[in-house]
A and B are shown apart, each in its own frame.
Chain A
Amino acid sequence: MMSFNYFVAFFFIVLGLYCMVTRHNLFKVVIGMSIVDYGANLLIVTVGATNGGTAPVYTGAEIVAGTVFVDPIPMALTLTSIVISACITAMALALVIKMYQHYGTLDTRKIRRLNG
């Protein structure tokens, strides 16, 4: 079960990188960046997960023999990482809108005035 999660996480990362490399539409490049981030987030959550574990919240009732908590630190890391990737996506989309106004196209092959 867990190994399947790792497989999907790296599959997402590779898929996102493939999207960034092959798609020539600016929006699709941004979508590729997001997919990479989803893969990384899934990887972190999987690192902290335990089969049959419950949420790491102490209410007193959970503390019985045989209860397993999942690792809380990767969850905190994932939340931070999700917030950061949302900011990055917003920034990238803002840049895409300004670029569309400036260049009149969304094709990456035409937006290459800085080259050589």
Chain B
Amino acid sequence: MSNFPILAVMALFMGAFINSLTGRRSRRVGNIVVFIAMAIALCLMLALIPPVFIEGQVITYWMGGWAPEAGWAYGIGLEVDALSLFFGLIVTIAVMVSGVYSFTYMAKDDSQVNFYTLFLMLSGSVLGLVLSGDLFNIFVMVEIMTFSAVALTAFRNDYEGALEGAFKYLVVGSIGSMCILVGTALIYANLHTLNMAQMAAMLPTQHNTVLVLAFGFLFVGFATKAFLFPFQPLAADAHAVAPASISLMISGVLTKCGVYGIIRLCYGLFQNIDTAAVQYLVTGFGCVTMFVCVTMAFNQHNFKRLLAFHSISQVGYVITAVGLGSALGVSAGLFHAVNHTLFKGLLFLVAGAVQHETGSLDLDGLGGLSKKMPRTCLLFLVGAASISGLPPFNGFASKWMIYQACFAKAGESGNFFYVLVCVVALITSVLTLASFVKVAQSVFYGQLPARYNDVHDCPAAMRAPIWVLAALCALLGVFPGFITRFFLKPATGAALDATAYADQMLGGSHAASAADFQLLGNWSPLVWVVLLLVVCCAVTIVAVSAKKGMAPVLEPAPLAPTDREDVCVAPENAKYEPFFSGEESEYSQVGGSDLFWGFKENWRKYFSFWHRWHSGIVNDYALYGVVALAAVLLYCLLFV
């Protein structure tokens, strides 16, 4: 049992090498090797559920048998408590889904053997990161992760912007890696250990300037890996150009490493989340991230770039909840983390399916695909409802918990800041919904361009992984009590009880203390399912019994200038007049991007500011990173 974690990590790394050896001759053999490697990792993680989640053990493994002596850890250890295993499960499930999807999605690309080698290295490094108990090991895993993620981003290097996105990710990501390395060195200078359990035992009793600096460096390092606020342009560039299955990995798995790092750092190592200064820092970062990114998503015209901004916005929710420092906040954050992987992965895979079939991701050029790809459209709607927090899907359940956590925190502390956080979280959710209405209108509804007349649904082998994600989205939404009881409570307990982690690791007494939290109001998912069914029935009845001529069907825009005079008539519907007044003879169709025209017009200064801010120049992005680092270090020195 104790060697399961290292076997899971090694299965993925060995899979990468064996795939390199065998996959060159035959892709089929290579695919089987990749599948077996992923399945072994997933099964080993699942096998750890009973001892860790139900019996509350901490699984430890010492590399080379270098067990601690006299309470001092010399060797490199792997430590799997409920928090690590929670993220390990997220990682292995996402890897499995992404890998199976790639088999069909990447089938037409060349040098696939390199793709899967890098893919398995990425998976292995991420799994190693969340299971590791050694801070320097975490740095090495972060570097392998960044390296393979950059290579995979640029994998289709003839794709417009792929090299550029990968280079920016590498340069600005290296600032984050440097921060983690420097933070590790500073901690080592004070404590002479790299073992995290040892640190958890020693750090809370020590407080000096160097350790505060180390906290600042490590926080910025993990924030880079989670793509928090000043680093979000990287995520947008990398997601938009990477293959869809890699977008899933970047959004669903790599950002989770940053989230895991921040939780481990604030709750496990330094245990300073109780102080108001750290709460302001973490919650503030999360809050700004979620609002800025959701508004940036409004302006996007590329399907995957838009999804990328939403992805970071949802990570902002997770960080906001984690920064509250309460048991309810942590469990809400963890719940949203797993939900984020599910619905975001679903949406990226849907975008990949659209790209696979139409060859385009341009929101202004697509349209009306619901007629040609009805099953993909249905899956998209599930994902859109989840991310917007509509009941009965999982996004609602976790966002509800986050609102409650903010609300409870505001009530307890009487601090206006947390009231503001609660309001921003609600507004962000509304803006997310609005943005997905725009995407649905642009891609799946509206007019079907003539060039997509012979488009058909994507292959079933690509849809199957998406169905798995959609089913999980619905299940977690309808039965949130199940995951709360068996997964969130142990993981929250592990996050909050760092002394137990240290004791177990170093052979001390194990003091078990379960996290206890109460939800403010109870909500019954079944009622919401009934409501959804009623609304669906009502819509169906209206749609079926609708008379012709309820709404004028707009003609497509004319292409040839010669017959312009005949076709160009202003729509007789007066409801568009406030938005499209002007030349009366000019024909204008309401496209997906125009849906929130008035809102964008009123906020145009805000939007154009952020548009200029995301300049696309790598020096600017590096500057934002350096400024954020300097600001966090200064804040930590002054207040923490």
Contact = CB atoms under 8 A, between A and B. Distances in A.
Contact of B182 (A43, A73, A113): A43
Contact of B157 (A71, A80, A98): A98
Given A17-B626, A114-B237, A81 B181 contact: yes
B181 A23 contact: no
B412 interface: no
A20 B622 contact: yes
B147 interface: yes
Interface in A71-116: 71, 73-74, 77, 80-81, 84, 87-88, 91-92, 95-96, 98-99, 102-103, 108-109, 111-116
Contact of A40 (B147, B182, B619): B182
Interface string B158-195: 00110111111011001100100110111011001010
Given A17-B622, A81-B181, A98-B163, A91 B617 contact: no
Interface stretch (B349-357, B375-383, B579-587, B608-616): B608-616
A70 interface: no
Nearest to B74: A73
B140 interface: yes
Interface majority SS (helix, strand, loop, mixed), chain A = helix
A88 B170 contact: yes
B540 to A, nearest CB: 40
Nearest to A107: B617
Nearest to B160: A113
A116 B299 contact: yes
A22 interface: yes
Interface stretch (A29-37, A51-59, A61-69): A29-37
A40 B154 contact: no
A91 B169 CA distance: 12
Contacts of B199: none
A92 to B, nearest CB: 6
Output the residue of A43, A98, A102, A115 with the most chain B CB within 10 A. Answer: A115
B14 interface: no
A21 interface: yes
A15 interface: no
A91 B611 CA distance: 30
Interface majority SS (helix, strand, loop, mixed), chain B = helix
B623 interface: yes
Contacts of A103: 164
B241 interface: yes
A91 B182 contact: no
B164 A111 contact: yes
Nearest to A34: B174
A79 B164 CA distance: 30
A81 B140 CA distance: 8
A102 B165 CA distance: 13
Interface string B284-311: 0000000000000001100001000000
B147 A87 contact: yes
A12 B373 CA distance: 55
Nearest to A10: B182
A68 B80 CA distance: 37
A81 B121 CA distance: 18
A17 B161 CA distance: 25
Contacts of B240: 114
Contacts of B181: 40, 44, 81
A33 B140 contact: no
Nearest to B170: A92
A22 B622 CA distance: 9
19 contacts: A20-B175, A20-B622, A20-B626, A36-B175, A37-B174, A40-B178, A47-B186, A47-B188, A47-B189, A74-B188, A77-B136, A81-B181, A95-B167, A103-B164, A111-B167, A111-B617, A112-B615, A113-B160, A114-B241
Given A73-B194, A88-B147, A111-B617, 18 more contacts: A17-B626, A21-B622, A36-B175, A40-B178, A40-B182, A71-B192, A77-B136, A80-B136, A87-B147, A88-B170, A91-B151, A98-B163, A99-B167, A103-B164, A111-B618, A112-B615, A114-B236, A115-B616
Interface of A: 13, 17, 20-24, 26, 29-30, 33, 36-37, 40, 43-44, 47, 71, 73-74, 77, 80-81, 84, 87-88, 91-92, 95-96, 98-99, 102-103, 108-109, 111-116
Interface of B: 136, 139-140, 143, 146-147, 150-151, 154, 157, 160-161, 163-168, 170-171, 174-175, 178, 181-182, 184-186, 188-189, 192, 194, 236-237, 240-241, 299-300, 305, 611, 614-619, 622-623, 626
Q: Across chains A and B, which 7 residue pairs bring their CB atoms closest together, nearest first? A: A115-B616, A112-B616, A47-B189, A20-B622, A114-B237, A44-B185, A21-B623
